Chain A
Amino acid sequence: MLILFVAITGKSQEKNHFSLFTDRDLYASGETMLIKVYVPADEPSGIVNIDLLNTKGRIISGISKKITGHQADGYIYIPDSLSSGSYLLCTSTKINSSLTFKELYITNRFTGIPEVGTPVRASKIKPLKNRLIDDLQIEGLDKSVKAREKLEVSLNLPKDIVAQIEGNLFVSVSEVTPGYNSQSFQSTIHRDNFKSAEKEGVVLDGYLKDLKTGIPFKNGVVYLSIPDSIPRFDFYITGDDGYFNFQLDNYYGKIPVVVQGFDNEDKHLLKISVNRRDSLKNCLPDFESWEISPAFRTSAEESKDAVTFRKIFNQPEVAVQPAMKPGTDRYPFFGVPNIVVDPQLFINLPDFTEISRELLTGVKYRAYNRIPSLQIFNSAQRTYFNDSPLLLIDGIPVRDLSVIKDLGSKEIAKIEISMNERYYGNLKFPGVLAIHTKKADYSRVLVSDEVVKLNFDCIQPDVTLTTLSEHPLNEPDLRKVLLWNPSVKPGQTIKFNFGTSDLVGNYKLVICGADKDGSIFYKEHLFEVN
């Protein structure tokens, strides 16, 4: 019975891993790696993370992609600074303790594969196997084709297989590296309390701690600001563990973000830190030395030359689709302002004290004994608020009032004033003063222990592979990936066109998909371009 249970558990675990595919196994620095991931059906997260890491576990580059129909696809640009050697591609989600790795080899396109030093490969791993299907017919693709030939290929899938397919198929045609067989394997990672699942967007999370003691700070206020025409604002009140998180729904690409945390009672100095995926060293397998075959070395040399030529001829491998932007709010989080002042309509004033005196009704900005103070008139109570209002510069809350001291009317595009007690959830603001600078670069917001400014990577926008028709005939066509279609609608007959490049050698056509039971099937077809 126990054996039966272990067997069943083992079988279910096999289906529960991520399946990771790349366009190739050998890359040169400066190239773009195309990635397809199949996610287990029971994965609760809506975002999958894909990271490129070295054999020491350091993450070199990483992306986040939205999971659609238990699948995701993306790309990683391989930096030119990488040295030649084995690397790992890892796919994971924020809450799943299961990781799937895939081995890759990257050659530095300036140095090539070094003659000295021992290359390593993962050892003692249990390679993940996908189901090979034989009864899939490929028409229109011979064993040998000519360079720069246009091909129309048909895939004929049996009815019963089509009925079993869940979601889209993935089809690719790319160069094969002789003497190197990349393997995928599974590993696990310890997750801290499974804190934040990502659903419609990536999660920005971190910790707020006491600066002196380093103890997690309870009831600290964390502000998140995303500069925009109408800036986004959110807040989080930390619990016992000092943890905070923000879900950045439907944000794509890199976005500027300012995160600040502080003690609402101003009794403690705090330090804020944002979690980043930077290392996976505890989940790595053992590595053993590996002898590079001459065929592999030759292929790697040719590969790096092709990359350099493509760079010279300015032939991008992929075209990035414009990133979608979430709709901006209809009005600022601090409400529709009572007063809006454009300082350009008045005489030039040298500093903010003068601006507040001359232009801003109901705003008292004074600097007695060089200590600035700011008060706003409460229009409902007919008196000034005792506390300082919420001061915003380009939509970012600023707690140091001296930041605006030397702000003259030449630098200000617009000032908005809200003269009533504003509420945002459980936060209370005794009036709001929002200053929009002409530069709008929030450079006046200073980074400190309590303030972090970063360009945060959100969901990666989609890409498409550049095609043959985009290459002029008088330029060399050095594409190693001839076709990359990560989302093909399944059907009994699937037709697609592609053209071979000037690069001769071995290529393979891969068709891959997921069954309704979550298992992955694939079919490979090798052919030669000469």
Chain B
Amino acid sequence: MANNTFYIITLFALLAATSLTAQEAVPKNWDSEKIKGSQLIPYPSYTGNPYLTEKFVSGEIEFTDGTKIENLFLRYSTYRDEIIYFNSAISAQIIIDKISLKGFKLFTKEGANRIFRNQYYNGFLPGNRFFEVLNDGDIALLAYRTVVLQYCSVYNNEAGVLKNMEYQQNFNYYLYNSKKGYETIRIGKNSLLSKFDKSNQKLVKKLLRNNKIAIRDESGLIEAWKLIQINRIPTNF
């Protein structure tokens, strides 16, 4: 009897294994990541950092058709407004075609997700730019993170070569609404208040005072804007 049970169990196991093999997932080689881009030519070496991050960080890109590719090594060039990925299979740093992207995300060491969106900018030097989304909503708070190469006092670099230029941060902040477009905003209380009517300015001031928010840096601006959005205070923009 015990033998019979053993044979039946074996038979069951065999049959189950066969049917499982038949339903095995099929390989899907055709949709392997095929990112289009061009070769990165190293930027001129000066003091300062032409990139947003010191090193390549883990990230995700989203194409215009909605396809997402995760677990890429990405680095955002603030100097050229380009997103670069490291293709480990061919050991190449590749600038991903901006036209193909909807946006990308960078996952920093601190655990923060930095979201960048590819948007058309119709102001000075119009064209598509990657904007960092600091706060999303009906009116989004965006940052255009650029680095410019500027003349500076003469210095010797690490190799002892005499240089007279450096990469300098030049971050611009915008309030953005898909219908109304872009409105420049600077870090500071006055700039923020100027986006409201006089009656609402008092409300904003009170809100900032009650929540002890000082707009001295980027985080202060983000915090203030978040609070304004929550309290639905209408802007004049």
Q: Which residues of A contact B (CB under 8 A)?
A: 1-2, 5, 9, 42, 44, 95, 97, 194-197, 203, 234-236, 245-247, 330-331, 333, 335-336, 380-381, 420-426, 428
**A9-B15, A424-B36 are known contacts. Are A336 and B99 too (CB-CB below 8 A)?**
yes
A9 to B36, CA, bound (A): 49
Asked, given contacts A44-B23, A422-B38, whether A335 binds B33 with beta carbons under 8 Å apart, the answer is no
Residue contact A330 to B99, C-beta cutoff 8 Å: yes
Interface residues of B in 127-164 (CB under 8 A from A): none
Q: Cβ of B11: which chain A residues have Cβ within 8 Å of it?
A: 2, 5
Contacts known (A336-B99, A426-B90); A247 close to B31, Cβ less than 8 A: yes
One of B15, B24, B36, B94 near A333 (C-beta < 8 A): B36
In contact, B41 and A380 (Cβ under 8 angstroms): yes
Q: A196-B27, A236-B30 are in contact. Are A420 and B92 (CB under 8 A)?
A: no
How would residues 10 to 39 of chain B score, 1 for a CB under 8 Å from any chain A CB and 0 otherwise? 011001000000111011011111111111
Known A330-B99, A336-B97; 8 more pairs at CB < 8 Å: A2-B11, A5-B15, A245-B29, A246-B30, A421-B39, A423-B35, A423-B36, A425-B35
Question: Across the interface, do A425 and B33 meet the contact criterion of CB distance under 8 Å?
Answer: yes
Contacts of A420 in B (CB 8 A): 38-39
| B22 in contact with A234 (CB, 8 Å) | no
Write the nearest CB–CB distance from B9 to chain A, whole angstroms.
10
Please name all residues of chain B whose beta carbon is closer than 8 Å to the beta carbon of A9 when the two chains form the complex. Answer: 15
Can you list 7 residue pairs at the A/B interface with Cβ under 8 Å?
Answer: A194-B26, A234-B30, A236-B29, A380-B39, A421-B38, A423-B36, A428-B90
Q: Are B37 and A423 in contact (CB under 8 A)?
A: yes
Interface flag for B8 (CB, 8 Å): yes
B10 CB to closest chain A CB, in angstroms?
12
Task: Select which of A203, A247, A335 is within 8 A of B36 by beta carbon.
Answer: A335
Residues on the A chain within 8 Å of B38, using CB: 335, 420-423
B52-79 Cβ-contact flags toward A at 8 Å (1 or 0) = 0000000000001000000000000000
With most chain A CB atoms within 10 A of its CB, the pick from B29, B41, B92 is B29
B24: chain A residues within 8 A (beta carbon): 194
Contact of B34 among A5, A42, A97, A424 (CB under 8 A): A424
Residues of A within 8 A of B2 (CB): none
10 A-B pairs with the lowest CB-CB distances in the bound complex, closest first: A421-B39, A425-B34, A380-B41, A247-B30, A197-B26, A420-B38, A423-B94, A426-B89, A423-B37, A426-B90
Bound CA–CA A245/B28 (angstroms): 9
Q: Does B87 contact A (CB under 8 A)?
A: yes
- Verify A330–B26 contact, CB threshold 8 A: no
Nearest B residue to A331, CB-CB: B99
Give Cα A339–Cα B121 distance, bound, in whole angstroms: 25
Q: Which residue of A lies closest to B22 (CB)?
A: A97
The residue that B26 contacts in the complex, of A5, A97, A195, A234, with Cβ under 8 A, is A195
With contacts A423-B35, A424-B34 known, is A2 near B8, CB below 8 A?
yes
Query: How far is B31's CA from A197's CA once the two chains are assembled, in angstroms?
Result: 12
In whole angstroms, what is the CA distance A42 to B23 when docked?
9
Instruction: Tell me, rounded to whole Å, the shortest Cβ–Cβ distance linking B96 to chain A.
Output: 9
A383 CA / B91 CA spacing, docked (Å): 22
Residues 176 to 198 of chain B near chain A (Cβ within 8 Å): none
How far, in whole Å, are A113 and B171 apart by their CA atoms in the complex? 85
How far apart are the CA atoms of A425 and B41 in the complex, in Å? 18
> Shortest beta-carbon distance, A155 to chain B, in Å?
37
B26 touches A423 (CB 8 A): no
Give Cα A335–Cα B99 distance, bound, in whole angstroms.
9
- B87 near A423 with CB under 8 A, answer yes
Query: Can you list, as one digit per residue, whether each of B95-110 has a CB less than 8 Å from chain A (1) or not (0)?
Result: 0010110000000000
CA distance A197 to B23 in the complex (A): 11
Q: Is the CB of B30 within 8 A of A245?
A: yes
Bound-state Cα–Cα, A425 to B90, Å: 10
User: Please, which residue of chain A has its CB at the minimum distance from the CB of B26?
Assistant: A197
Q: Which residues of B contact A197 (CB under 8 A)?
A: 26
- Inter-chain CA distance A203–B41, complex, in Å, is 38
Kindly state the separation between the CA atoms of A197 and B28 in the bound complex, as whole angstroms: 8
- Report chain A residues within 8 Å CB of B37: 335, 422-423
Instruction: Give min CB distance, B142 to chain A, whole Å.
Output: 23
Chain B residues with CB below 8 A from A95, complex form: 26
Chain B residues with Cβ below 8 Å from A422 are 36-39
Chain B residue at smallest Cβ distance from A418: B38
Q: Which residues from B are CB-within-8-Å of A336?
A: 97, 99
A474 to B89, CA, bound (A): 71
Shortest Cβ distance from residue B235 to the other chain A in the assembled complex, whole angstroms = 34
Chain B residues with CB under 8 Å of A425's CB are 32-35
The residues of A that contact B29 with a CB separation of less than 8 Å are: 236, 245
Contact between B39 and A195, CB atoms less than 8 A apart: no
Interface centre among B15, B27, B35, B89 (most CB of A within 10 A): B27
Chain A residues with CB under 8 A of B23: 42, 44
Q: Is the Cβ of B30 less than 8 Å from the Cβ of A423?
A: no
- Once the chains bind, are A44 and B26 in contact (CB under 8 Å)? yes
CB closest chain-B residue, reference A379: B41
With A2-B8, A423-B39: A195-B34 Cβ-Cβ less than 8 Å: no
Interfacial chain B residues near A333, Cβ < 8 Å: 36
Q: Is the CB of B64 within 8 A of A330?
A: yes
* Interfacial chain B residues near A380, Cβ < 8 Å: 39, 41
Contact B27 A195 (CB under 8 A): yes
Measured CB to CB, the nearest residue on chain A to B36 is A424
- Bound: A335/B97 CA distance, A: 7
CB distance from A65 to the nearest CB of B (A): 19
Closest residue of A by beta carbon distance from B99: A331
Which among B15, B30, B31, B35 has the highest number of chain A CB atoms within 10 Å? B30
Cβ distance B118 to chain A, nearest Cβ, rounded Å: 12
CB distance from B14 to the nearest CB of A (A): 12
Contacting residues, chain B, for A331 (C-beta < 8 A): 97, 99-100
Q: A454–B23 Cα gap in the complex (Å)?
A: 32
